[in-house]
């Protein structure tokens, strides 16, 4: 029997009776034979060490799995109703009332907001969690998604899933169509029709199949082909928002005029740029952005049940020479309106003058007034402004004066008229105000109205007849004064302190009185000492600089209390 040897590496057998193998001719085999003759003790020790590490890791893995099982066991014992409540607290519905709507053209973005995958994470934990999540209707009542024809089928499936899982609870939907809106105008008619056709499943779900379940609908960049779909099928829709990035969409599409009067439950309507619509009379809150003032006036006249009427505009958009002259010759009363935001352009637009002359608001509580002017006010404009403010009701509690172009050239006489006409005013807010004009307002507060003297036009600073001490005080019921002025707010600190001293001395100030600023102020040491003196005399006041409350004690030592006011 012949003796055979095996290679230690590959196990190959070879017969030693064969031709003698010259190892010098095969260096690799020579190295292998030498390696087999070495001591393998260190390698065995390393193997044992690694086996010990693996054992410890397995033990740690077992402990972690035990903790996971223990936690899952605890949640398994939770009643489904309690688990559902926890889910709702962990993922509350989107608050579309406070959510800011993007109005610019978008960049590259995913079609789905990351926050919208939370429900699906819950469904992936366990079968029990999935059942509870799918049966919790309020987890599926708000959805914000971006429309893209590349993902049309997936977005349609997502919408359908939300509608079906909402358990009959009204649904709020935000559709962001801006990504396609800009490119559609660069396509041929056939290409545009192809894109719109690809998005048809989404349109069918929102405006037809499940339209009756929608309570709040926000469409940013609505395709013109979809406008006729806004019909009575949205039978439960109480809140509708239609936004576009700019008005280029409508320059050659005036034919897309549409009436919204078929929506039976609509209460709140927000629109920008789209001037070819008719609002329903059921609307109580109307917000219009960047439209001609003619459109503002027409919608105000068409909606007798308005409680809030808010306009936001570019001052240049108000000056439309093509607008026909208004034919309004009678007084129009909006006896339900409580909140009004208006942009005064009475010097440049007949519709603006008609607003001052013919509109009445007997229940108004808040007035936000934008000032925009091209020229000095004439006698007629001064008379119209004075008459408008003098007709405001005593129910007005809050007034915000906003400068849109860096100036607010109302004569001092008009400012005085405004404040005398609003004796019950509790809140005054000055935004983007020129510092000299703000200084004049500070110089009025707390004085008897009969003591204020002035020239015919601002910026002639008001003077005070100190011999007049009796009579109604200007803004005697003021509780809050907010100031966002420029360019030099620090120039006003001394006047502010003097105003507080005057209010304390006359006993006309609310207790406590709140003075608010947009940003931190640069207080002089003398002003700080006078403020401390007011505190020691028992005058209660609060000074807010942004979200922070000013601490006079800390300010004196060089520090300011930055604790947020809860």
pLDDT tens-digit readout, 93-117: 888 887 777 665 555 444 445 556 7
Nearest to 429 by CA among 396, 402, 459: 402
Q: What is the three-state SS of 62-108?
A: HHHHHHHHHHHHHHHCCCHHHHHHHHHHHCCCCCCCCCCCCCCCCCC
**pLDDT band per the 50, 70, 90 thresholds, residue 371:** confident
Whether 240 shows a pLDDT value over 90: the answer reads: yes
**pLDDT band per the 50, 70, 90 thresholds, residue 316:** very low
Instruction: Please indicate whether residue 86 or residue 383 has the higher confidence score (pLDDT).
Output: 86
**Predicted pLDDT of residue 30:** 58
What is the model's pTM?
0.77
Instruction: Please indicate whether residue 510 or residue 355 has the higher confidence score (pLDDT).
Output: 355
pLDDT tens-digit readout, 22-54: 555 555 555 555 555 556 778 888 888 999 999
Nearest to 108 by CA among 137, 146, 80, 81: 146
**pLDDT band per the 50, 70, 90 thresholds, residue 221:** confident
**pLDDT band per the 50, 70, 90 thresholds, residue 121:** confident
**pLDDT band per the 50, 70, 90 thresholds, residue 241:** very high
**Predicted pLDDT of residue 163:** 94
pLDDT tens-digit readout, 55-83: 999 999 988 888 877 776 666 778 888 88
d(CA 359, CA 361): 7
Whether 420 shows a pLDDT value over 50: the answer reads: yes
Instruction: Please indicate whether residue 175 or residue 519 has the higher confidence score (pLDDT).
Output: 175
**Predicted pLDDT of residue 206:** 95
Average pLDDT over residues 265-277: 87
Average pLDDT of the residues of the chain: 79
**Predicted pLDDT of residue 9:** 53
**Predicted pLDDT of residue 566:** 36
Q: What is the three-state SS of 354-382?
A: HHHHHEECCCCCEEEEEECCCCCCCHHHH
Instruction: Please indicate whether residue 545 or residue 564 has the higher confidence score (pLDDT).
Output: 545
Nearest to 32 by CA among 16, 21, 19: 21
Which of the given ranges, 13-27, 325-339, 379-393, has the highest pLDDT on average?
325-339
Average pLDDT over residues 425-438: 84
Nearest to 506 by CA among 447, 565, 434, 459: 447
Instruction: Please indicate whether residue 139 or residue 409 has the higher confidence score (pLDDT).
Output: 139
Average pLDDT over residues 217-227: 88
Nearest to 521 by CA among 553, 557, 496: 496
Whether 478 shows a pLDDT value over 50: the answer reads: yes
**Predicted pLDDT of residue 249:** 61
């Amino acid at each position: 029997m012949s003796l055979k040897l095996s290679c230690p590496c590959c196990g190959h057998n070879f017969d030693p009776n064969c031709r003698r193998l010259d190892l010098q001719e095969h260096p690799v085999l020579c190295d292998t034979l030498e390696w087999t003759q070495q001591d393998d003790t260190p390698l065995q020790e390393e193997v044992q060490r690694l086996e010990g590490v693996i054992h410890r890791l397995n033990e740690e893995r077992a402990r972690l799995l035990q903790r996971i099982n223990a936690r899952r066991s605890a949640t398994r014992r939770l009643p489904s109703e309690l688990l559902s409540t926890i889910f709702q607290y962990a993922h509350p519905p989107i608050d579309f009332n406070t959510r800011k709507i993007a109005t610019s053209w978008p960049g590259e973005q995913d079609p789905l907001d990351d926050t919208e995958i939370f429900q699906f994470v819950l469904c992936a934990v366990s079968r029990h969690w999935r059942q509870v999540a799918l049966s919790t209707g309020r987890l599926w009542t708000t959805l914000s998604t971006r429309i893209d024809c590349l993902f049309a089928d997936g977005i349609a499936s997502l919408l359908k899933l939300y509608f079906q899982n909402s358990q009959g609870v009204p649904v709020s939907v935000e559709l962001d169509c801006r990504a396609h809106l800009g490119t559609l105008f660069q396509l041929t008619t056939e290409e545009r029709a192809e894109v719109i056709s690809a998005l048809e499943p989404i349109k069918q779900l929102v405006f037809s199949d499940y339209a009756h379940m929608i309570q709040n609908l926000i469409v940013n960049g609505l395709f013109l082909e979809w406008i006729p779909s806004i019909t009575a099928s949205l039978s439960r829709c109480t809140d509708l928002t239609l936004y576009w990035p700019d008005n280029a969409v409508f320059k050659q599409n005036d034919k897309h005029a549409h009436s919204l009067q078929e929506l039976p439950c609509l209460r709140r309507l927000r629109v920008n740029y789209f001037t070819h619509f008719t609002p329903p009379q059921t609307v109580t809150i109307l917000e219009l952005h960047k439209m001609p003032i003619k459109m503002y006036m027409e919608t105000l006249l068409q909606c007798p049940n308005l409680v809030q009427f808010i306009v936001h505009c570019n001052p240049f958009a108000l000056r439309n020479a093509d607008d026909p002259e208004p034919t309004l010759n009678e007084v129009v009363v909006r006896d339900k309106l409580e909140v009004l935001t208006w942009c005064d352009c009475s010097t440049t637009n007949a519709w603006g003058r008609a607003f001052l002359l013919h509109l009445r608001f007997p229940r108004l509580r808040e007035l936000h007034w934008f000032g925009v002017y091209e020229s000095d006010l004439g006698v007629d404009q001064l008379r119209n402004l004075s008459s408008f403010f003098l007709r405001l009701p005593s129910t007005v509690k809050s007034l915000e004066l906003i400068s849109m172009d860096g100036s607010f050239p109302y004569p001092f006489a008009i400012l005085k008229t405004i404040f005398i006409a609003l004796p019950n005013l509790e809140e005054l807010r000055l935004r983007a105000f020129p510092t000299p004009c703000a200084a004049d307002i500070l110089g009025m507060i707390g004085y008897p109205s009969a003591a204020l003297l002035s020239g015919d036009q601002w910026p002639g600073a008001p003077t005070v007849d100190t011999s007049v001490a009796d009579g109604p005080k200007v803004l005697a019921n003021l509780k809050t004064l907010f100031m966002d002025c420029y360019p030099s707010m620090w120039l006003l600190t001394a006047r502010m302190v003097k105003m507080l001293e005057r209010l304390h001395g006359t006993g006309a100030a609310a207790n406590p009185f709140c003075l608010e600023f947009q940003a931190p102020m640069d207080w002089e040491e003398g002003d700080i000492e006078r403020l401390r003196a007011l505190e020691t005399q028992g005058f209660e006041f609060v000074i807010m600089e942004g979200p922070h409350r000013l601490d006079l004690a800390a300010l004196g030592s060089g520090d300011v209390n930055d604790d947020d006011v809860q």
